[in-house]
């Protein structure tokens, strides 16, 4: 009897824990969302007396934010395009070739996941200034490629690994050369994995602060960096409005991912491969 009681108590404790974690995760976000629609011109106590879109208007009338948003979008698009191509090329070669130290090489490609982003950013800043590269956008692009490439490599490797080698061999025995087999067979079958890697990479690039903050210059900065700087200068709720919009973008990406591959599969594939 006592064994059952303990089991039941464990279940209850588990449920309470999950509930607490959910509250802890969701309450701040819920507060931010509500505040973003606050109609008051100052930071007042909850709940707001009435709702409005004034903070969204303020965000879109602020050049500083708009500039950051535009840089972020350009940067994310370009960085994802490059790191997807790099990821595909790297994963394809690593998948095909058999050599000693293959696992080590894969780990090396994934190491930006383990190195703290601040360190990556700082190291890159030093390195690029030595090279004489001082253009803000170019520096940011380098940084964002480095932090997004592990995601595209990993996702592509998983995708390629799931393709039966016999399919390529079948294409070869039917008269296609290696290159034709790649375009006809390998690429179409790895497509969903490549896309899920690219979506992850886009989200990582849009959300990054630690690397970006090291590499920005006075005129080129990303949206998250702009939000942080403006928060230091004058705290107002347009940051809450921006946060709501960033969340919507992320939510949109998650929905896209769910529709194209299934979220569990994508996250499962994202970093570790069984």
Which residues are near other proteins by CB under 8 A?
164, 166-167, 169-177, 180, 184-185, 188-189
CB of 262 to other proteins, least distance (A): 17
CB of 188 to other proteins, least distance (A): 5
Residue number, 86 or 172, with CB nearest to other proteins: 172
Kindly give the residue spans of alpha helices, DSSP state H, lying in 111-217: 117-131, 136-161, 165-173, 178-181, 187-207, 210-215
Residue number, 164 or 258, with CB nearest to other proteins: 164
Burial class (CB in 10 A: 0-12, 13-18, 19+), 179: exposed
Residue with tokens 């939510």: 251
CB of 98 to other proteins, least distance (A): 12
Residue number, 102 or 191, with CB nearest to other proteins: 191
CB of 181 to other proteins, least distance (A): 9
Q: What is the largest CA-CA distance in the chain?
A: 74
Residue number, 142 or 195, with CB nearest to other proteins: 195
d(C-alpha 56, C-alpha 33), whole Å: 12
Alpha carbon of residue 169 to chain centroid:
35
């Amino acid at each position: 009897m006592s064994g059952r009681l303990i089991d039941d108590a464990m279940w209850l404790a588990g449920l309470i824990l999950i509930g607490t974690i959910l509250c802890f995760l969701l309450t701040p976000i819920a507060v931010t969302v509500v505040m973003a629609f606050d109609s008051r011109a100052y930071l007042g106590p909850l709940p707001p007396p009435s709702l409005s879109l004034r903070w969204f208007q303020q965000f879109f009338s602020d050049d500083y934010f708009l500039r950051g948003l535009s840089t972020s979008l350009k940067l994310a698009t370009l960085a994802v395009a490059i790191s997807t191509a790099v990821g595909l090329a790297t994963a394809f070669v690593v998948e095909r070739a058999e050599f000693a130290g293959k696992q080590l090489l894969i780990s090396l490609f994934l190491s930006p996941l383990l190195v703290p982003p601040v360190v990556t950013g700082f190291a890159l800043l030093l390195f690029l200034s030595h090279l004489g590269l001082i253009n803000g956008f170019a520096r940011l692009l380098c940084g964002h490629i480095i932090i997004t490439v592990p995601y595209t490599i990993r996702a592509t490797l998983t995708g390629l690994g799931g393709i039966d080698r016999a399919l390529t061999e079948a294409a070869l025995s039917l008269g296609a050369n290696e290159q034709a087999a790649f375009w006809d067979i390998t690429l179409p079958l790895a497509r969903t994995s490549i896309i899920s890697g690219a979506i992850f990479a886009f989200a990582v690039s849009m959300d990054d602060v630690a690397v970006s903050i090291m590499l920005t210059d006075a005129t080129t900065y990303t949206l998250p960096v702009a939000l942080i700087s403006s928060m230091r200068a004058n705290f107002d709720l347009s940051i809450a409005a921006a946060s709501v919009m960033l969340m919507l973008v992320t939510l949109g990406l998650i929905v896209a991912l769910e529709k194209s591959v299934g979220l569990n599969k994508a996250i499962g594939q994202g970093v570790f491969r069984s």
